[in-house]
Amino acid sequence: MPVIREDTAGERSQINKATGGESAGRIALPSLAGALANAASGNHRPAISSGTGCGMDDPIVRSHALSLYYGQSQALTDVTMDFPRHQVTALIGPSGCGKSTFLRCLNRMNDLIDGVRTTGSIQFDGRNVTDPTLDVIELRRMVGMVFQKPTPFPKSIYENIAYGLRIAGIRKKAVLDEVVENSLRRAALWEEAKDRLRESALGLSGGQHQRLCIARAIAVQPEIILMDEPCSALDPRSTTRIEDLIGELRGEYTIIIVTHNMQQAARVSDWTAFL
Ligand code: ADP
């Protein structure tokens, strides 16, 4: 994998620089070194694994020997890694190595795909995510997801945010109003949206759509927010806003972000894992 190795090696200095210059930037450099070795050897097993002594005292998610098959085709092989609580972990790796697939395992989105089979385990705060008796709706409330392409519902801005609460049976207008405002504020969209809450969300820009989707995820008070290349469809300015937002949400939520951009991984994450 010479290309990956060259690219990764070329960006290492950037990561070192970011780590030294930003107090929040704590990149798992030993893991990155492991990643380089893995990339060079063609071994795409994750570089962070439990028990590596990287200071993760309180992991919120533990994946152990997780393998996933789409029918006969194996997409994940023995993924073992821990994710620290209330920190940002970036998942990087070559296209097709299974980053999105892994992310979808964390809230059982792969259940929606026919012929998917997994072995191994994922623990979320001690609960076995792969347990067939688990309440998947509740799991997805606690493990929210933001996709590569923003997915606003064809409803008003207000209803996009209130949707999850209404599903949960919350009807009181005062409660809904408060959650909508707080969520939009947390997602840095309130000032732009407060005078058009009843207008269609489809009228917002692409960058605003993505912040709306983050607000929608926040509204149901998740523990974890999964982000699958959330900036890849955005212009540089919108990308910066989302990256800033991730920085603001750090500490309150556990964020796991898939990105193909090494610089972005260095900018936004506390830990970097290589698949
Ligand atoms: P990444 O996010 O790292 O680019 P993906 O998780 O999208 O990788 O894909 C990993 C592998 O699984 C690829 O070989 C891809 O073709 C395959 N794959 C992804 N989704 C499906 C699916 N719904 N059905 C069958 N194969 C899939």
pLDDT, tens digit only, all 275 positions of the chain: 222 222 233 332 222 222 332 322 222 322 333 332 333 344 433 434 333 444 577 899 999 999 999 999 999 999 999 999 999 999 999 999 999 999 999 999 999 899 999 999 999 998 999 998 999 999 999 999 999 999 999 999 999 999 999 988 999 999 999 999 999 998 989 999 999 999 999 999 999 999 999 999 999 999 999 999 999 888 898 899 899 999 999 889 999 999 989 999 999 999 999 98
Ligand 1-lining residues (CB < 6 angstroms): 70, 73, 75, 93, 95-101, 113
Phi–psi pair at 185, nearest 5 degrees: -65, -45
Q: Distance (Å, rounded) from C-alpha 13 to C-alpha 236?
A: 22
Distance from Cα 75 to the centre of ligand 1, integer Å: 6
Distance from Cα 101 to the centre of ligand 1, integer Å: 6
Return the pLDDT at 233.
85
Sign of torsion over alpha carbons 144, 148, 151, 152: positive
Segment holding 116, helix H or strand E: strand 116-124
Q: Is the pTM of this model over 0.85?
A: no
Residue nearest to atom 16 of ligand 1 (CA): 96
Classify residue 71 by its DSSP letter. T
CA distances for 148 relative to 79, 82, 89, 100, 145, angstroms: 23, 24, 17, 10, 10
On whether the CB atoms of residues 143 and 107 are closer than 8 A, the answer is yes
CA distances for 238 relative to 81, 151, 241, angstroms: 31, 16, 5
Atom of ligand 1 nearest to the CA of 228: 2
Query: Best of 44, 66, 70 to mutate for ligand 1, by most ligand atoms within 8 A of CB?
Result: 70
Q: Distance (Å, rounded) from C-alpha 77 to C-alpha 153?
A: 35
Task: Please provide the DSSP assignment of 161-209 as one string.
Answer: HHHHHHHTT---HHHHHHHHHHHHHHTT-HHHHTT-TTSBGGGS-HHHH
Return the pLDDT at 116.
96
Query: Best of 101, 103, 111 to mutate for ligand 1, by most ligand atoms within 8 A of CB?
Result: 101
Please give the domain boundaries of the chain with CATH numbers for all domains.
Answer: 2-274 (3.40.50.300)
Return the pLDDT at 26.
27
Return the pLDDT at 153.
95
Return the pLDDT at 54.
47
* Among 251, 254, 230, residue whose Cα is nearest residue 242: 230
